Structure 1
Amino acid sequence: MNKEDIILKALYNLYKMQVVEFYKLGNGQSSFSASYVYAISNNCFPVFHASKDLEIYSDNFEIKKDYILEVITYLDDAYLNNKKLTFYGLEDYFGGKVNRSDLITIIRYSFLSERFKGNNFKQNLESESPIEGKDLDRPLDAYEI
């Protein structure tokens, strides 16, 4: 890791800490949405909130933008076409290249961002899912950030 990468990583961690602390200090009433704070605090690139200012840190997110877009595109297609999609079916589709906790984070971020409402989408996902894949549309809890 070169000096520039180390500095960017430090700036990213500082940014992440500030976002989370501003949100906590404002009791959820800060200018940051719950979905954005959730994504940032869980090292998930916030694709629904992307900006040029955030792009500079894109390599520092553990859950990368391209991967998130691939998952969300698949979810969106299933949602728009009323396909019954279960969590285990989603894992099977991605054939082991998906990390379960990353998948849960992406889905949770999507639900917090008010995506995929209706069409029994959530119920279908939860019909065949691990316990940690349940109730992913609940309001953000302090322990999650």
Structure 2
Amino acid sequence: MTITVSGVMIAARDMAAKLEVSVRRVIAFSACSDFSTYVDVDGDDFHWIVAERAGREVKRRTTRSLDELMHWLAVEVTFHMAWEWGMEQRSRFPEREVIGTDRLARQVELLRRLDGSWAAQAQEGHVDAHSPAFG
């Protein structure tokens, strides 16, 4: 079965709706900025790519599973959403320190909206506590 960009976009739109963010927040099909992540679809293969300046590739993962690709995207977007949430909490409540476990709890909460098994995996192994872009 050949995977199409439109098929990936349908899944990305669903994820964006569940997270209440724009689809651009979930997926890109070309490098947008330093250390941006994007997806390349090549026949039956999905390539999840991290690029730095001038589009130089830093990291690549390849899969033939749309579910696995969506998991990688979910980890990335929820990591960034949890990080932003932590920064917001810091500015709203400067007397309270937001720590990594607070951000992980927020990420797990966001992942639970998408797939309970992704949330459980993040909670159990702390695997998803760090952005895969830098892991």
Is TM more than 0.5 here? no
Higher helix share: 1
Question: Relative contact order: is structure 1 or structure 2 higher (C-alpha 8 Å, sep ≥ 6)?
Answer: 1
How does the TM-score come out when normalised to structure 1? 0.27
Higher strand share: 2
How does the TM-score come out when normalised to structure 2? 0.28
